A = this chain, B = another copy of it.
Amino acid sequence: MLDERKATILRAVVTEYIETAQPVGSSHVAASPDVNVSSATIRNAMASLESEGYLHQPHTSAGRVPTEKGYRFFVDQLGGPGRLGASETQQVRSFFARAHGEIEQMLADTSRLLSNLTRYAAVVVGPPHEVATVRSVQLVGLTQRVALAVIVLSNGAIEKHTIELDHEADELVVSAAGARLAAAAVGRTLAEVGSFTPQHLGVAPGSEATVDRVVIAALAVLRGDHRHEEQVFIGGTSDMAAAFDAVGTVSEILRILEQQLLVVDLLADVLGRGLSVAIGRETGNEALADCSLVVAPYVVDGEAAGTIGVLGPTRMHYDQALSAVAVVANRLGRRLSEG
């Protein structure tokens, strides 16, 4: 599609623009060691690249700026091997060697790690709870009419749901109902538990026994009638902010990041389209027109478990971000597979 010279020139423009955030002129490109033609030739090539949509000129007699199409070609065709620096690799390694304890804490710390590595905002989406198996179920009475269902999952995550009872129930009844639930649920996935009917748990149709009523109420809460929300951890928003120059842009991006469900969908959508990088409007969100998103799934015990990502300006260091995301996803998956 692009001959080699144009590709080289495009690469030079993109890399320089990423560094300087200034429109790049032909003489700068000519100074690049990869380019051995005169600036006049480069001008011709750049004019052609512009008409093909890879570059954009803010105004006559200004240098060129990459378009989304230009970044896209750069990422797809021109991406270097993308090695992480030695100190960064070491940072990741020692982080996961030290990492232990609660899974939420680890995921939150991972988002900090990733934002430290890239200097952009980092998003870590936890493994969905539906696929984990239940290790333990317990019902605890909080008040006469409110109980709490606590479910421990095999990956160490916890789900909790308050259950509002329509009758008063004492502690014994509540824990008896909990035992019934536990007997049926332990070893199953949450998705399976969600499809249980009262009959599965030995509730006779029409039963009015208090225990049965509690079981039914608990089951209703666990049913899929509400979305089991993935946990989201976002770090490095301050780094992200520093990468932009308009406070309005920053505010809009923060508004997106505050809506965590939206962020989950955003990452899932990008990944679903088979992309690992979404540039500008490719993110599918108008407010992120000046942003790029680098994503990668992580694999736990052989199965895709969650997603991590980096959000920065379209002029981000794609190679660094891509390799940081890849390495962290890899290590995180491995670490979680060990339990």
Chain B residues with Cβ below 8 Å from A247 are: 241-242, 244-247, 250
Chain B residues with Cβ below 8 Å from A158 are: 150, 158, 160
Q: Cβ of A252 < 8 Å from any Cβ of B? A: yes
State in angstroms the CA–CA spacing of A247 and B245 once bound together: 6
Task: State whether A339 touches B146 (Cβ < 8 A).
Answer: yes
State in angstroms the CA–CA spacing of A230 and B126 once bound together: 22
Query: Number of A interface residues, CB 8 Å?
Result: 41
A243 to chain B, nearest CB (A): 9
Q: Cβ of A251 < 8 Å from any Cβ of B? A: yes
User: What DSSP secondary structure best describes chain A's contact surface?
Assistant: mixed
Chain B residues with Cβ below 8 Å from A246 are: 247
Q: How many copies does the complex hold?
A: 2
Cross-interface CB contact of A241 among B142, B162, B241, cutoff 8 Å? B241
- Chain A, residues 159-173, CB within 8 Å of chain B (1/0): the string is 011101000000000
Q: Cβ of A197 < 8 Å from any Cβ of B? A: no
Pick from A235, A244, A247 the residue with the most CB of B within 10 Å: A247
State in angstroms the CA–CA spacing of A232 and B339 once bound together: 27
Chain B residues with Cβ below 8 Å from A148 are: 152, 156
State in angstroms the CA–CA spacing of A4 and B171 once bound together: 64
Task: State whether A339 touches B238 (Cβ < 8 A).
Answer: no
A262 to chain B, nearest CB (A): 13
Quick one: which of A242-270 are within 8 Å of B by CB?
242, 244-248, 250-255, 258
Chain B residues with Cβ below 8 Å from A161 are: 101-102
Among A15-23, A132-140, A291-299, the stretch that binds chain B is A132-140
Cross-interface CB contact of A138 among B138, B141, B258, cutoff 8 Å? B138
Interface residues, chain A, CB within 8 Å of chain B? 100-102, 135-136, 138, 140-143, 146, 148, 150, 152, 154, 156, 158, 160-162, 164, 235-239, 241-242, 244-248, 250-255, 258, 339
Name 27 interchain pairs, CB-CB below 8 A, sorted by A.
A100-B162, A102-B160, A102-B161, A102-B162, A138-B138, A138-B150, A142-B154, A143-B339, A148-B152, A150-B150, A150-B158, A158-B158, A236-B258, A237-B237, A237-B258, A238-B251, A238-B254, A239-B251, A241-B247, A241-B251, A241-B254, A242-B251, A244-B247, A245-B247, A246-B247, A247-B247, A247-B250
